[in-house]
Amino acid sequence: MIIKLSKRLQQIADWVPMNSRLADIGSDHALLPTYLAKENRIAKAIAGEVNPGPFDAAVRQVKGSRLESIIEVRRGDGLAVVQAGEVDCITIAGMGGGLIVSILQAGVDKLKGVQRLVLQPNVGEDLVRQWLREEQWLLKAEHILEEDGKIYEVLLAERPIEGWNADEFVQADKTMYASRQLNCGFVLDEQWLLKLGPYLSEETVSDVFIAKWQHEVNKQERILNTMAKSDAEETAERREQFVAYKSELEELIACWQKGKQ
């Protein structure tokens, strides 16, 4: 049976190195490891799933594909399904950024020997980027795509090459998140780059990227409309913050759109 991945899962699959020992956390129906095994891309895989329904579906998928010798489906929470040194690539997709961070942090001792993380947060991408920085994982690439009316970001991070020291990582990280001025004059500082993505927010950005942040502007507008119905002093102060954020986003979008002309 041929497995066709969604665009989102295909991007993740494309970033899994050849002959990886993979752990796919929150594997759902184990589609990703099954596809990679059928393509002879991985040496072995652990499909981790905490919920009974998806776990059973993953077991059926692996058995139906006769891939039990390559893929082992394990039930457990997060990285609890993995032993330290057992895998060298971990994929986590389809969750909020906060949950992805909590999974990685709770299982940080399981990351020994892991060389690559491929992460796809549904929201809170900045939380993931911040965690990667704090734990000295170097963000190597970012991709944004739209599928079925939803926009997804995929992040690829690696351990610094063998022989690097902490100072070299800090320098590479500082360079990546160094403030940069766009042609329109807008300055993307460290906090903006964490939010937008240092690779995704280059001068010429994709239409999907602009659409994502236009959705954010629309969201801020809805929040402001709700706040307008309240006379509380605290709400007034928060409203000023939302107004400023929305205004900056609108300026950024105009800047990006001008750069595409």
pLDDT digits (tens, 9 = 90+) for 98-115: 999 999 999 999 999 999
> What average pLDDT does this structure show over 123-152?
96
Residue 182 lies in a domain: no
Sequence-separated (6 or more) residues with CB below 8 Å from residue 258:
183, 184
Are residue 18 and residue 144 in the same domain, yes or no? yes
Q: Which residues constitute the domain of residue 131?
A: 7-176
Instruction: Give the Cα separation of 13 and 39 in Å (integer).
Output: 10
Which domain CATH number covers 192? 1.10.287
The Cα–Cα gap between 29 and 175 comes to 39
Contact 173, 158 (CB under 8 A): no
Same domain, 242 and 113: no
Q: What is the pLDDT of residues 166-206, one digit of tens each?
A: 788 889 999 999 999 998 899 999 999 999 999 999 877 99
Looking at the structure of the chain, the number of domains it has is: 2
Q: What is the pLDDT of residues 40-77, one digit of tens each?
A: 999 999 999 999 999 999 999 999 999 999 999 999 99
What whole-number distance in Å separates Cα of residue 17 and Cα of residue 19? 6
The conformation of residue 48, written as its DSSP 8-state character, comes to: E
Which one of 111, 142, 176 terminates a domain? 176
Residues 162 and 193 in one domain: no
Examine the domain organization and report whether 38 and 139 are in the same domain.
Answer: yes
Amino acid symbol at 201: S
CA distance linking residue 101 with residue 97, whole number of Å: 6
Task: Specify the higher pLDDT residue, 235 or 7.
Answer: 7
If asked whether residues 128 and 235 sit together in one domain, one would say: no
Q: Of 147, 176, 205, which closes a domain?
A: 176
The answer to whether residue 2 sits within a structural domain is no
pTM over 0.75: yes
Residue 136 makes CB contacts below 8 A (sequence gap 6+) with: 159, 160, 166, 169, 173
